[in-house]
Amino acid sequence: MSRPRARDLGIRIGRGRPGPLDAITDVAGVRVGHRSVVRGADGDPHAVRTGVTAIWPHDGDPWDAPVYAGVHILNGYGELIGINTIREWGVLESPILLTSSLLIGRVYDAAVRWIAGRSASAGETVMPCVTECDDSFLSDVLSAPVDDADVAAALESATAGAVAEGCVGAGVGMQGFDLKGGIGTASRVLPDDRGGFTVGVLVLTNHGERPDLLIDGVRVGEALTDLPLPDGDADGSCIVVVATDAPLLPHQLRRVAQRAGLGLARGGSYAGTTSGEQLIAFSTATRLPTRGETVELRAVIDGAFADGGSVLSAIFRATVEATEEAVVNALVAAETTVGRDGHTLSALPIDRTLELLDRCGRLQR
């Protein structure tokens, strides 16, 4: 049985209004698919706890209709294939694929073959966007456990409905603040006087130290000292993907991606020196032609002189809030997981967390 989400429990992050699904898929056309790869018994030295998550920017093929995008690297101990294209052209022309660090090459190769099967010309030219976090604490990453069929399954299973969270897809083997983490998502809908635009966020958590964990400003992590701590480097990583239907240009989307880092900080992240925070933002407002045709664009005017700056500020706030909430949703959804060599990540203790939040007046029943 799936665990409830943060809002179901009375945890309300920020002041903004979520979309109907409180998910990245509240942005029309965005689709998410997962493939979980779980093999071997708990404690087996070759147990696999990994997977792939695919995020499509719209309901078509993005190599035929790219969208504007921006990227920001909060700390760069990690990889993002496709970053140069996004930085140089300001466009996203493939699904975004999330996976385990040492599987990034296999997932990239498999995505190229999958795209070529749909469009030979695209397969020859498109460099898929693939990024990663390290799940080696729970998973035998050297066994190369993901293959073409797994990547295809993530791409082909993508839907526009509710998004599975926690220990699913790329999140199967990931942690969060020395607890079990994984996939989380959330959204915000701007007020009508700020355009009524939607901002959706999906995170892949693998970051944070237990004592730093904040939930809605409450120092929850400090009260969970009795749960076992995983061995090894605690800096970790986090991928944040931000989608919006606001008509933003690449430089504005880069600024949106930066704000996702503030959402991580509000949850207790400090982007340690061996962490990898890869932050990507894209807009679904305009599908770009691929043959050089002129296209009529809408745009949010920015600059201190422009009234439209208030729209950007509202988008920034929505991004920060949705990112913070998405991390909490990942923790709430995740379940205690045992992986290779008996390595264990404990689930966030929901009852104790709610008691702490209630004591601080942060629950809204």
Catalytic site positions: 237, 275, 277
The C-alpha angle 297, 306, 83, rounded to 5 degrees, equals: 55
Q: Which amino acid is at 253?
A: L
Phi-psi region of 345 (alpha: psi -120 to 50; beta: other; left: phi over 0): beta
| Residue partners of 84: CB distance under 8 A and separation at least 6 | none
Partners of 48 in the β-ladder: 39
* Residue in 354, 16, 34 with CA at minimum distance from that of residue 182: 34
Q: Output b/e per residue, 268-300; b: 16+ Cβ within 10 A.
A: bbebbeebbbbbbbbbbbbbbeeeeeeeeeeeb
Element (H, E) at 122: helix 120-125
The torsion of the CA quartet 318, 320, 322, 325, rounded to 10 degrees, works out to -140
Is the CB of residue 23 less than 8 Å from the CB of residue 326? no
